[in-house]
Amino acid sequence: MKSRRVSVIMPAFNEGEHIHDNIMETNSVLGKDFDLDLVIVNDGSSDNTYSEALRAAEKLKNAVAVNLPVNVGKGNAIKEGFKYVKGDYVVFLDADLDLHPSQVPKLLKVMDGHKANVVIGSKYHPSSELNYPWIRKLISRVYALVLKILFNLPLRDTQTGLKIYEYEVLKRVFPKILCKRYAYDLELLVNAHRLGYSILEAPVVLNFRRPKKMGRMRPNDLYRTGLDTLAIFYRTYILKYYDSIKT
């Protein structure tokens, strides 16, 4: 596997307390198996996230810390981070490591075994192990039902923060993406599916570490996610916007 080139994009917002150690741990876990590069994107944090990410990147020859001075959103951070990747496979990994990077090789095995173009961690896979608040579970299940009705994707979960894409998929899909903050995961997957790429779900182990049951999720976030979701539906089926963007 060492010859396989893998890029990890880690969007980070106000993760200064943990980001240095999490970067080093990710490199230690994945660097032994892959030709690895790490792209850490500070999404306009108000704490020392960027300086701590930079401190880690300066210790590693295969890491780069990208600073976005204004918090625009996770989707925008990942899209900006994609400009720096070098791998044939691109991993989206949340910087808090609620989903540990040790799971990446398992997802790649699923990708190889089924010749898939995209593999996403799924909370609804029967083999997943979950430790996160019931209110988050309820919100996730309601959203999954809404997505099934609106888009009929062959997926039960679009929001879990561990995903692997072939580079070429993202190269084709990112020019179509408009969401910067909320439903960017959905927009990526809808477009990848419509382009005919194979997408599979894989089991994950999720350990929710944040002290608040909702984490950073606020009622306004749910409202705006709903608006973004409806906008994606409108662009897909009414406006036919995505079909007009040739890649």
The model's pLDDT over 195-219, given as tens digits with 9 standing for 90+, comes to 999 999 999 998 866 554 445 556 6
On whether the CB atoms of residues 31 and 61 are closer than 8 A, the answer is no
Residues 6+ apart with CB under 8 A from 97: 18, 22, 25, 26, 209
Q: What is the mean pLDDT of the chain?
A: 91
Q: For 171-175, which contacts have Cβ atoms below 8 Å and span 24 or more sequence positions?
A: 171/247, 172/247, 173/247, 174/79, 174/82, 175/245, 175/247
pLDDT at res. 111:
96
What CA–CA distance (Å, rounded) separates 185 from 160?
9
The pTM assigned to this predicted structure is: 0.91
Amino acid at 62: N
On whether the CB atoms of residues 107 and 100 are closer than 8 A, the answer is no
Task: Please name each of the domains of the chain with its CATH number.
Answer: 5-244 (3.90.550.10)
> In sequence order, what are the beta bridge partners of 11?
41
Average confidence (pLDDT) over 109-136 = 88
Which comes out higher in pLDDT, residue 29 or 123?
29
Q: What percent of the chain has pLDDT over 90?
A: 74
> How many of the other CB atoms lie within 10 Å of CB of 121?
26
Q: Helices marked H in the chain — which ranges?
A: 19-31, 49-59, 74-81, 104-114, 134-151, 167-173, 184-194, 219-233, 241-244
